[in-house]
Chain A
Amino acid sequence: MGVDLGDLVPKKVIELGELRGKVIAIDAYNALYQFLANIRQPDGTPLMDSRGNITSHLSGLLYRTINLLETGIKPVYVFDGKPPEVKELEILRRIKLKEEAAKKYEEALARGDYEAARKYAVRTSKLSTEMVNDAKKLLDLMGIPWVQAPSEGEAQAAYMVKRGDAWAAASQDYDSLLFGAIRLIRNLTITGRRKLPRKNVYVEVKPELIELEEVLRRLGITHEQLVEVAILIGTDYNPEGIKGVGPKTALKLIKTYGSLEKALKVVKEAKFPVDPMRIKELFLKPSVTDRYQLTWEKPDAKGLMEFLCREHDFSSERVRRAIERASKSLREITTQSSLEAWFG
Chain B
Amino acid sequence: MSLKMVFSDARQWRYLVDTFSTLIDEACFIVSPEGVKLRALDPSRIAMIDFFLPPEAFEEFECTEETRLGVNFDDFKKIMRRGKSKDRLELELGESDRRIKIRFLGRAIRTFSLGLLDLGGEELPLPKVPFTVRAKVLSDTMKEALKDAEIVSDYVRLEGSEDKLSVKASSDRGNVEVDFTPESGSLIELEVKEPSSASYSLDYLSDMMKASAISDILTIEFATNKPLALTFDLPGGGRLTFFLAPRIES
Seen from chain A, the residues whose Cβ lies within 8 Å of a Cβ on chain B are 15, 17-18, 20-21, 72, 334-344
Contact = CB atoms under 8 A, between A and B. Distances in A.
B125 interface: yes
Contact of B246 (A20, A72, A337): A337
B250 A335 contact: yes
Contacts of A20: 43-46
Interface residues of B, number: 25
A336 B201 contact: yes
26 contacts: A15-B43, A17-B44, A18-B44, A20-B43, A20-B44, A20-B45, A21-B45, A72-B44, A334-B250, A335-B199, A336-B245, A336-B247, A337-B46, A337-B246, A337-B247, A338-B245, A339-B46, A339-B47, A339-B127, A339-B243, A340-B45, A342-B129, A342-B227, A343-B124, A343-B127, A344-B128
B147 to A, nearest CB: 21
B48 interface: yes
Contacts of A335: 199, 247-250
B103 interface: no
A17 B128 CA distance: 25
A289 B161 CA distance: 50
A261 to B, nearest CB: 39
Nearest to B247: A335
B240 interface: no
B11 interface: no
A342 B127 contact: yes
Contacts of A343: 124-125, 127-128
Contact of A339 (B41, B199, B201): B41
Nearest to A334: B250
B226 interface: yes
B248 A337 contact: yes
Given A336-B247, A339-B48, A339-B227, 19 more contacts: A17-B43, A18-B44, A20-B43, A21-B46, A72-B44, A335-B247, A335-B248, A335-B249, A335-B250, A336-B46, A336-B201, A337-B245, A339-B46, A339-B47, A339-B245, A341-B245, A343-B124, A343-B125, A343-B127
Nearest to B126: A343
B230 to A, nearest CB: 14
Nearest to A343: B125
Nearest to A16: B43
A342 B249 CA distance: 18
A18 B44 CA distance: 5
A341 B120 CA distance: 23
Contacts of A342: 127-129, 226-227, 245
A18 B45 CA distance: 8
A335 B201 CA distance: 10
Contacts of B243: 339
A72 B48 CA distance: 18
A188 B246 CA distance: 28
Contacts of B46: 20-21, 336-339
B78 to A, nearest CB: 19
Nearest to B249: A335
A72 B25 CA distance: 18
B72 to A, nearest CB: 13
A20 B46 CA distance: 9
Contacts of B227: 339, 342
B43 A339 contact: no
A30 to B, nearest CB: 25
A18 B43 CA distance: 5
Contacts of B226: 342
B171 to A, nearest CB: 12
A335 B226 CA distance: 12
Contacts of A17: 43-44
A343 B128 CA distance: 6
A242 to B, nearest CB: 39
Contacts of B47: 339
Nearest to A337: B245
Contacts of B199: 335
5 nearest A-B residue pairs (beta carbon): A20-B44, A342-B127, A18-B43, A335-B247, A338-B45
Interface in B6-45: 25, 41, 43-45
B44 A338 contact: yes
Nearest to A336: B247
